[in-house]
Amino acid sequence: MIEIIEAIDAYTTAKYPQLDMKLWGFCELAHKTSTNQSDQPIPMTAYGYQERKQVALDDRYDVITWMRWVNPLSHNINEDWSFGRNEARESSITVRIVVAHKVELGENFIFDFASGLPARLNLTGFKYVFMDDGSPSIDPDHEAIYRTELGKTVYEKHRIPWNLYTVDVTFNFIQCEELTP
């Protein structure tokens, strides 16, 4: 499934070559607890780095993204791709793309980003990968996203130069048998 996340990063890089970007790739929410027992969510890299790194907004960039799974991976038998005694297992995964972009890029940036996401990906090791019909969905609740993804700190929308969105995309795919354990 890392291949899907890497393909989304490649799409972003190709679509916006003129922007300074930090694409963190696959991340997980870790939780840090302080001595006063407050729970602080922290997005941390989960793949592609020697050491896990904490994701943060950084004013040196115009766009910052990171992705994580939001639902468990599900599997179903797909009769259309099953042949003889070999059953094809179709999998489905929802990837949450967190997009932070400078306010100067405008409110339409997120619509351009989400509408351009590839509906079908040609990836090595997969028979097919395609976006589910109901995808993508955009959540514009900056404050809730900030608190969920970056922690329970003081957030004042008009004091930070970022727009925060989440784009949830469900991908359906079948991996090639020779690569599936």
* Calpha distance 99→80 (Å, rounded): 35
Six-digit token pair at 40? 């602080």
Burial 27-46 (b: 16+ CB within 10 A, else e): beeeeeeeeeeeeeebbbbb
Confidence (pLDDT) at 19: 96
Six-digit token pair at 80? 């259309």
- pLDDT single digits (tens) 38-83: 677 888 898 777 788 888 888 899 999 999 988 877 777 666 766 6
Contact at 8 Å (CB) between 85 and 153?
no
Confidence (pLDDT) at 180: 45
Render each residue's pLDDT in the chain as its tens digit; 181 residues.
788 899 999 999 999 999 999 999 999 988 776 666 567 788 889 877 778 888 888 889 999 999 998 887 777 766 676 665 566 677 888 999 999 999 999 999 999 999 999 888 888 877 778 888 777 999 998 888 888 888 766 555 556 788 999 999 998 887 766 544 4
Contact at 8 Å (CB) between 58 and 22?
yes
* Calpha distance 36→13 (Å, rounded): 41
Confidence (pLDDT) at 169: 92
Q: Can you say whether the dihedral through the CA atoms of 30, 45, 10, 172 is positive or negative? A: negative
CATH of the domain at 149: 3.30.2000.10
Structurally, the chain folds into a number of domains equal to 1
Confidence (pLDDT) at 178: 53
* Total length of the chain: 181
Confidence (pLDDT) at 158: 56
Residue 126 CA, distance from chain mean position: 19
Domain hosting residue 52, numbered range: 2-32+39-179
